[in-house]
Structure 1
Amino acid sequence: MSWITKVRNSLATLGKRDTPDNLWTKCPRCQEMVFTRAWEENLSVCPRCGHHGRIGANARFGQLLDPGFTLLPPVSVPENPLNFRDSKKYSDRLKAARASNPHPDALAAAEGAIDGEPVVLAVQDFAFMGGSMGMAVGEAFVRAAEHAIERKCALVMFTAAGGARMQEGILSLMQMPKTTVALRRLSRAGLPYIVVLTDPTTGGVTASYAMLGDVHLAEPGALIGFAGQRVIRDTIREKLPEGFQRAEYLHEHGMVDQVVPRAELKATLARLLNYLTRKDVA
């Protein structure tokens, strides 16, 4: 045994330092590593490039609603009406999604106020099966609209979806007219409906309640569209313009009223709600 081996063996072995797995967050756009604490304090927006990260319903409620808001009760719908199965049972996929998410399906709603302005706030969570629109999402949306009518307040909807939920087939597509009828009732009651389009908002959601608002806002850089870019490009056989289907492009072409950074959303929504629900305007 050499002298260096003796010295090495005589040294106390230092244990591996425990480092939290969530200490850093990697920005999907600029690929920079950002302290998770700084990321969260900046509302999940990259402080270097301004990329708006995807967030769930609870984060939205906490960022936008005044303290004391109330969650609307979850809806009850048939869980696997078509007895669908691919590589796994649809019911098993639902169980797995619920195990890793705070709400039983992709849409959650709450009653509260934004800077004192009464509102029902509904939020789709892309983390729950891609925010896909199924029977539960459609029913939760209708319940939120009915609650807004009952409370005589505005409905604000944050969309984030990959489209209709294929495991529910035609039943998922029926949520498009169902939610449209609910919005017609809201309009007849003289109550405003504000949509905030977040990344991504696509498919049947875009073809229904995502584009039926009195006012359409969008977060910077959000992907918004019906069909995918590759499908469109292959269909029209033309190169798509720069920034196609992004929030800024839709704003330039009149489909979005305003692109609002996340830090300014609460103040913007409060101002809109004040304008749209004022009772002293003839």
Structure 2
Amino acid sequence: MNWITNYVRPTINSLFSRREVPDNLWTKCPECGTMLFHRELADSLNVCSGCEHHMAITPRKRFEALFDGGIFTEVDVPEVVADPLGFKDQKKYPDRMKAAQKKTGERDAMLVAEGDIGRTPIVAAAQDFSFMGGSMGMYVGNAIVAGAQRAVAMNKPFVLFSAAGGARMQEGILSLMQMPRTTVAVEMLREANLPYIVVLTHPTTGGVTASYAMLGDVQIAEPNALIGFAGARVIEQTIREKLPEGFQRSEYLLDHGMLDRVTHRKDLREELITITRMLMGQTPAIKGDLPAPIAEEALDTTRSEETSA
């Protein structure tokens, strides 16, 4: 037994070896390449501190930052047929669904909730692009209808955050049928004289923009969000012309009258409070009197307490 080889060398190596750092502590900004510490990124609502690029944020994180105290109640959404067409490509559709549900922890690509923002009760729905590209299937249609029905029943404004690559091909014509269904849901809000506010986030494309995403009483978008029906390359090939710079981005659409606002994510809550109170005929909110969303540290403490309980 060689004690230098078996004992001394491993001991020296362990003293000078680099400590392993968990992979999830840092996130690289896809726009500018800046490495962002996970807590700082969470505090900035997934907005890069270097270039202000708005990265994807999950519906639950968005709602925690939106609602007073981070408190909201989920609205029940009717279940749908698991695999209506028996669709299979490289994977079976149920297998893709299970993988997406495991990855996101959600039932499908849309979350519907109700709560207060600035002491103003609202119903909100948000799409999750990380769930099969936020694709619009029967569940998403059910979610929007359920959200609209809840808003009408409780006389609340309906705020929707869109993020989708279009209709879900695994559900074929059934997914395309959600376009007229969601349009009818929006009409229910109009008939009840309730505000319908849409916040378009990156990306919002395909059949979503041909239905509920472009029917808001007020259309807001996050900076530099991609918004359009067909892709830029398809349009260029069709019209055989070079598209202008920034085509299908938030700022371009604002300049050409398709949007009412382009709002930074950190300012979005106050903007929605102002708009919802105005459209509901309420007095303007006093800025210093608004209850704040719960802090990230408090959320971590709350989750720890719930876990231990």
If the length of structure 1 is used for normalisation, what is the TM-score? Answer: 0.94
Equivalent residue runs for 1:44-55 within 5 Å = 44-55=46-57
Equivalent residue runs for 1:144-163 within 5 Å = 144-163=147-166
- Cα distance in 2 for partners of 1:134, 1:192 equals 25
- Cα distance in 1 for partners of 2:141, 2:10 equals 68
- The residue that corresponds to 1:219 in the other structure is 222
Question: What is the number of equivalent residue pairs in this alignment?
Answer: 277
Q: Mean alpha-carbon deviation: is it higher for 66-75 or for 263-272?
A: 66-75
Please identify which structure carries the higher helix content. 2
- The residue that corresponds to 1:107 in the other structure is 110
Shift of 1:75: 2.5
SS of the equivalent of 1:100 reads helix
Q: Deviations over 1:104-142 (max 9, x none)?
A: 000111011111111001000000000000000001110
- Cα distance in 1 for partners of 2:140, 2:178 equals 8
- Cα distance in 2 for partners of 1:268, 1:177 equals 29
Match of 2:206 among 200, 203, 206: 203
Match of 1:39 among 35, 38, 41: 41
9 and 241 in structure 1: CA distance in 2 versus 1, 3 angstrom threshold: same
If the length of structure 2 is used for normalisation, what is the TM-score? Answer: 0.86
Equivalent residue runs for 1:4-153 within 5 Å = 9=9, 12-14=12-14, 16-67=18-69, 68-153=71-156
SS of the equivalent of 1:178 reads helix
CA contact (8 A) 2:77 2:146 kept: no
10 and 241 in structure 1: CA distance in 2 versus 1, 3 angstrom threshold: closer
- For residue 64 of structure 1, what is the amino acid of its counterpart? L
CA contact (8 A) 1:251 1:257 kept: yes
- Cα distance in 2 for partners of 1:152, 1:80 equals 35
- Cα distance in 1 for partners of 2:25, 2:219 equals 36
CA contact (8 A) 2:76 2:146 kept: no
Q: Deviations over 1:74-105 (max 9, x none)?
A: 43010110010111110110011001112200
- Cα distance in 2 for partners of 1:162, 1:75 equals 23
5+ long unaligned stretches in structure 2: 284-309
CA contact (8 A) 1:74 1:104 kept: no
- Cα distance in 2 for partners of 1:9, 1:258 equals 64
- Cα distance in 2 for partners of 1:194, 1:10 equals 63
RMSD (Å) for aligned C-alpha atoms:
1.8
- Cα distance in 1 for partners of 2:266, 2:276 equals 17
273 and 9 in structure 1: CA distance in 2 versus 1, 3 angstrom threshold: closer
- The residue that corresponds to 1:235 in the other structure is 238
- Cα distance in 2 for partners of 1:242, 1:145 equals 37
Instruction: State the identity %.
Output: 56
CA contact (8 A) 2:163 2:202 kept: yes
- The residue that corresponds to 1:269 in the other structure is 272
CA contact (8 A) 1:107 1:123 kept: yes
Q: Deviations over 1:180-214 (max 9, x none)?
A: 01111110000000000000000000000000000
Q: Mean alpha-carbon deviation: is it higher for 256-265 or for 10-19?
A: 10-19
SS of the equivalent of 2:188 reads helix
- Cα distance in 2 for partners of 1:192, 1:51 equals 29
- Cα distance in 1 for partners of 2:139, 2:116 equals 25
- Cα distance in 1 for partners of 2:10, 2:236 equals 68
- The residue that corresponds to 2:306 in the other structure is none
- For residue 140 of structure 1, what is the amino acid of its counterpart? A
Q: Deviations over 1:193-247 (max 9, x none)?
A: 0000000000000000000000000000100000001000111111110100000
- For residue 77 of structure 1, what is the amino acid of its counterpart? V
